[in-house]
Structures are given as C-alpha cells and as structure tokens.
Structure 1
Amino acid sequence: MHKRISGRTSSHLFVLLLVVLCFSCSQSKKTTHILFVGNSYTYRNNMPKLFEEIARSKGEQLSVSHITRGKYTFYLQSKRKKLYHALHDQEWDVIVLQGSSRDMLRDSARFKKRTYPALDKMLGMIQKNQKAAKVYFYMTWPYRKGDPKTKQFSDPDSMLEAVAAGYSNLRDRYKVPVIPVGKVWRSYHVTYPEANLYLRDNSHPSYEGSYLVACTMYSAIYGKSPEGADQVAILNQNESTRIQRFINKQYRTSEFQFYLKDSI
C-alpha cells in the first residue's frame, strides 16, 4: 500500500529538485576566465575580443582580459605591477603568454640573462597563485620579409625556424605547451599568397591576420574546429570561411598537436 506524500513533503522535494537543477545549470554554464599577456601582436585589432566573440558564437561561456603593451618582452612584462596584481587578485582558467619575436633570435646569453629569469618569475607567480590555470606560450609569426636587421634571419622561413626553436626550448624547459600560431600563419601565407595577413609594416597583423590568430587560439584552447564561428564583421567573408577551414585542418595535423604537448 503506497503512502500518501504530504503537501509539506512535496514542497520540500520540489525545492530540492529546483536546487539540484539550478546547481546543474550553473555547473554547465561555468565561465572560463582567460588572460592574454603580450604586446601588439596580441592587442592589435583587439584580437582577444575577436577570440572571445568567436568562442561565444560556438557556444562557449567565457570572459577574456589582456595585459599588453607595445614592444614588450617577457622580461619587461615580468616587471609590471599590473601583471602582479592580476595574478594575485583574480582567478584564471587559461593564461596565454606571448613574448617578442626578436627575443627568439637572440643568442643564448640573452636568454639566460633576461628571458629565463623573467619566465621563472612569471611562471613562479602563476604556479603559486593560479594552480588550476592552464598555461600556453603563443608562438609568433615571421616578418613578411624576415628580419632585415639580422642577415641570418633575413627571410621569413629562417626567421620562423628560429622563433619556433625558441618557443620549443621554452616548452621543454617549463613543460608548457605552445600554440603554434607562427607555423599556421606561415603555412596559410604560403598556401594563399594573395591573402593579406600583414599591415604595410610587414610585421603587424591586418584584421584578417588577427582573425587567423583568434581562430588558431580557439582550436588550441578548446580543442574544437572554428568552422561556423562568427565572422566578426570581417570585410571578406570568403576569407574568414577559408581561414576557419584551414585552421581546422591545421589543428588536426601532427605538427600542431606536437606543439600542444607539454614536452617531447
């Protein structure tokens, strides 16, 4: 014989069910807090905002901030009070670190004297205050014509090789994966030479270049294809569709996945 559930018990059950449902919804809609640290290669065309809009259009819930300043290296970033406060006063789920391209072209003495100590300090702060954060290095791209100041790297392929080697060394030293933006950028530029990824200075990204960076970031951080994402008012919609498809293919390559490993 079934017992009758009283009105009070029924109300309690309803409240309990409502609490469980609300908790489940809050868990499924957890906001991912992402911090970009870098220079103009990060903030130009407000790339972090492009990234955020792309991710939101793909159904992600996130909040994106950036600590950036033109021409800043890891060494200069490590001295910023703004970065210190961000790592101490806020909680981050993902932190992306971008250094100067030319730093990767320097000799090992400069790395030992400035870059390594700076990253020791920055990653030490992250390890102490942001234990749950996933950290990435952001590999930059070569200048359109290579570095004119250094004969050894005066073409884009030799410059990229040096930049990639620098970030690979950082990955192996710190066990931090690398988002291979530079590799993707160069591959896209070679495949589609008519694409306009650079500004007239042959260094900084055009709007399309920043869009390519943002799509690459999305695939690396979320492990998903950017295809179908918001084109974010990009002037050439055919270009944005082509970029999305290209990034999806690049993300699936062994080279892309190789850089996303913590170490070899």
Structure 2
Amino acid sequence: MKKILCFIMVLCLSYGFSQSDKKVLFIGNSYTGANNLPLLISELANDAGNGISTDQHIPGGSQLSQHAVNSTVLNKIASEKWDFVVLQDQSQKPSFEYDYVQNNVYPFAEILVDSIYSNDECSTPLFYGTWGRQNGDPQWDSISTFQKMNTRLFNAYSHMASEAEGMLSPVGIGFAHVYQDPSGVVSFGDLYTGDGSHPTIKGSYLAACIFNNLIFETVSTGNNYLPNGMNTAEANYLQGVADHVVYDVDSVQVDFKPNLNNNDFNFTLVEETVSLTPNVVEGTFDYWDFGDGQISTQENATHTYLDNGTYELKMFTKARCQSDSSTQQVVINTLNLLDEKIQSINVYPNPSEDGMLNIQYQGKENFKVISVLGEIVFSGNSNQIELKSGLYFIHFNEQVVKVVVK
C-alpha cells in the first residue's frame, strides 16, 4: 500500500515544528461548503504552524460533469500553481450503477485532471471521497444502506484517484470507522444533519483532519484547534479516527502517485564491460550514469570501463514531476596495462540504429573514420559522431574497429 513516505519522519519531529505553505483549490458543492471545510482545514494548519491559501468553486449540487465545462472552474485551475486541486462530485452520482458512472462521472474527472496537469504537472489532483448517506439511497438495492453506498463511493473515488495518479481523501472511510465504533465519543448519527446527508460540524471536522493529514503529511492528533459546537474529547476522538484511516488501514490506499522506489535494474559484467537491463515498474526509464563521467539514454545499454576501480551504477527514472535513481556498485579489476588502455578505443552502440556513435578512449590522439569505399569521412578527436547508414572502419593508432550503421 502506498502511504505518505515521510510519515515516519513527521512522527519523529515534535508537533508544531516549522512546517510548510500550500495552495489548495476546492472544486465541489455543498459537502465542501458545509461548515466551511476549507476554513476548518486552514485553522488546523495554522495551529500546527503550517500555512495554507485556498480558493473554491462549490455551488450546491454541482457535479463533475458541470465543473468540467465551467469556464469559472477552468480559469481558477489556470490561475495558480496549485499544490492540490480537490475534486468532489455530487453526493450520489459516483455510487450509481457502473455503466452510469463509467459514462457520466469518470470522463469528466479525466477532463478536470487533464486541465490540472496542463496548468502545472506538479499539482496533485486530490479526490474528496465522500460518504454514504446515513440510511443509504433507496432508489437501488445496491446502495440502499450506508455500508453499500459508502463502499460504492469509495471504489469510484479510488478509481478516479488511481487513473489520475493523484491522491484520495478517504473521508467516507472515516465515517465508516465511526459507524463501526458504537462506543465512540462521537456517535455515527452525530456526523449528519437532519437530512441524513450533509455533515454536522463533527462530520466536517473529521473530513478536515483527514485532509490536513494528506496535504501536510502530518498527523492531526495533538492539534489544539477546537471549532464551535465541539468539545475537546470529541475533537481528540475524531483526530484519532483521521490518523487511523490515513495511516493504519491497509485496505485504504491514499497515494496513487508513481512510486519510483519500486524500480531497479540488473547487470552482467564480462571483464571490463557491463551490460544493463532496467526493471521499471512505475514511471519511465530516463538514463544511466556509469559512475565514470559517462551516461547513456539507451534502456538496454553496455559500457566498457577504462580504469580499474569501484563505480556507482545509477539508473534514473522519472514520472510526472518526480525523478529518482537506483544504485548498484560494479568493481573493475581486469585492466592491468596502462599502455593497452591508451591504445584501445570503444565505440557504442554498435551496430547503431540512428547513426549516433559514442567514442570512448584515453589520450589526445586523433582517430579516423573510413567508409567501406575507402573515403575518410571523419578525422579528429571527439566523444560522439554521427554517420549515415553504411559500413565503416574506425582507425585509432594500430586498432581498427568495424562499425555498422543501420
């Protein structure tokens, strides 16, 4: 399960240690507007020493399908380099039958996500996983209870977060935790207003704590902010629920961004030549660093070392606004004669698919490239040359290397 990577580090720091500033845009409806959720999150952040600036577009009953074609929404997305853009659909729609959700929810989430990334690839789409109604939705048996409706909502929002390579705020799971804890300080019914749908201040406070954890990679336990309408015992209980949901429930994934730490590579060594094969699970291959000042952008690369020693082989991978490397050591001890090294020249890739050749050698001597017809097509000292398709011979001192360009 993907969790926030610096959680352990956060727990090791004293609460209230100097933190960070975030910019967050909320796109939703009355579930976000109830009890002013953005303000609740801001108050929690401020108490912990964090800073947050927010904007919002949350007309009651609004749907992702409406937001996706709304110029106000699209202009707000484009107005800032947001750290997070929170996306929330109408309270029922993501729980409807699969075909309906497939056609009337997911495509519009995708449009909004594309707009977010087009504005800033480093922004994170953060899906507001809302809760089932207190007694479910009676129009279909599949969502006729809180548990059924809550499960459908969780699955839909998880799908959207995964497709977006974003994050999920599992507030509905927080409601489910309270539902399953009849002895809790806050009862399940205390989370709902009289309509059995919208949240009371306690429901919104639980949501705010979950968002606070995700946005600032922190825990809410110990936060001293207490909104009107709640007492300290209730706040402490809901803080604990939020921390449990985000960090302790194995079935809940909150972070769907590519995890480049899962990538590694294999290599084989024959004398002084290493052959590398990437194993990229998430993201894409970027380049190799052979540890001797040479790099290569070929995924399946070979490299010949000119000196004995221990080298750090690094494979770099990348994903949206992320870069990471995997490292292994290679030991070269087969080179003994300096004179032999100076006299040798290494040409790769050979054969070449695109005409680009890397030339690796020691010394300042020039080399010549002679075509199969005997024409000298290059003479000089360079670490990279480009040739047209054909057969060539590279002459360096007394060494001749045959090169094929496809």
TM range (shorter): 0.7 to 0.9
For residues 120-144 of structure 1, give each alpha carbon's deviation from its aligned partner in whole angstroms, at most 9, with x where no partner exists. Answer: 2211111111222122111100111
The alpha-carbon deviation at position 39 of structure 1 amounts to 1.0
What is the root-mean-square deviation in Å for CA atoms of aligned residues?
2.1
Q: Give the equivalent residue in structure 2 for 1:247.
A: 242
Name stretches of at least 5 consecutive residues in structure 1 with no aligned partner. 1-27
Structure 1 stretch displaced more, 110-119 or 39-48: 110-119
Once the two structures are superposed, what CA deviation does each residue of 1:140-159 show, in whole Å capped at 9, x if it has no partner? Answer: 00111111222221111111
Structure 2 counterpart of 1:97, from 71, 74, 87: 87
Match runs of 1:229-244 below 5 Å: 229=223, 230-244=225-239
Match of 2:46 among 56, 80, 88: 56
Aligned twin of 1:179: 169
* Distance in 1 between residues matched to 2:94 and 2:111, nearest whole Å: 19
CA contact (8 A) 1:172 1:263 kept: no
Give SS of 1:136's match.
Answer: strand
Aligned residue number for residue 113 of structure 2: 123
Give the deviation of 1:67 after TM superposition. Answer: 1.2
Bigger helix share: 1
Give the counterpart of 2:148 among 158, 161, 181. Answer: 158
On the 8 A contact 2:126/2:168 being kept in 1, the answer is yes
What CA distance in whole angstroms lies between the structure 2 residues aligned with 1:82 and 1:118?
A: 16
Q: Which residue of 2 aligns with 1:137?
A: 127
* Structure 1 CA distance for aligned equivalents of residues 167 and 83 of structure 2: 15
Aligned-partner Cα distance in 2 for 1:30–1:170: 27
Paired with 1:194 and 1:248, the residues of 2 have a C-alpha distance of 18
- 1:214 is aligned to 208
| Equivalent position of 2:138 in the other structure | 148
Residue pair 2:133, 2:146 contacting (<8 A) in 1 also: yes
SS at structure 1 position matched to 2:69? coil
Amino acid at match of 2:187: E
- Return the letter of the residue paired with 1:174: A
**What fraction of aligned residue pairs are identical, expressed as a percent?**
24
Gaps of at least 5 residues in structure 2 are 1-17, 260-406
Instruction: Report which structure shows greater RCO (CA 8 Å, sep ≥6).
Output: 1
Query: Does 2:27 match 1:37?
Result: yes
SS, match of residue 231 in structure 1: coil
Structure-1-length-normalised TM-score: 0.82
